[in-house]
Amino acid sequence: MREQLGFLKASSAVVKVAAWIFLFLGLVAGSSVLLGMLPYYPRWMGLVILSVYTFIAFFFFLVAKIVDLLIKIIKEIKKD
């Protein structure tokens, strides 16, 4: 399992970056709909977009934190 630590660290970093990207895109899209910049969508749809993208970003960040915790557990097990 020790040989997968590099892959786990890299995948954790990629997932964290993806979480921030989703959060940024959700904020931009949701705020533009809320401000009325996209006339084809109702303004309440901006809240839906914000909540969905925030949930996805939180989920990705949570997955990355679980992977970080798994890395710490593996390191602790291998110490003994």
- H-helix or E-strand spanning residue 29: helix 5-34
Structure confidence by residue, pLDDT tens digits, 22-63: 999 999 999 999 998 888 889 899 999 999 999 999 999 999
User: Six-digit token pair at 22?
Assistant: 């989703």
Domain ranges of the chain: 22-79
| Per-residue confidence (pLDDT) for residue 36, from 0 to 100 | 87
Cα distances from 21 to residues 8, 17, 38, 52, in angstroms, run 20, 6, 21, 14
Q: Tell me: pLDDT of 3 over 80.
A: no
Q: Which of the 8 DSSP states describes residue 38?
A: S
Cα distances from 23 to residues 4, 40, 77, in angstroms, run 28, 23, 35
Torsion sign, CA atoms 57, 74, 6, 2: negative
pTM given for the model: 0.82
Q: Tell me: pLDDT of 80 over 70.
A: no
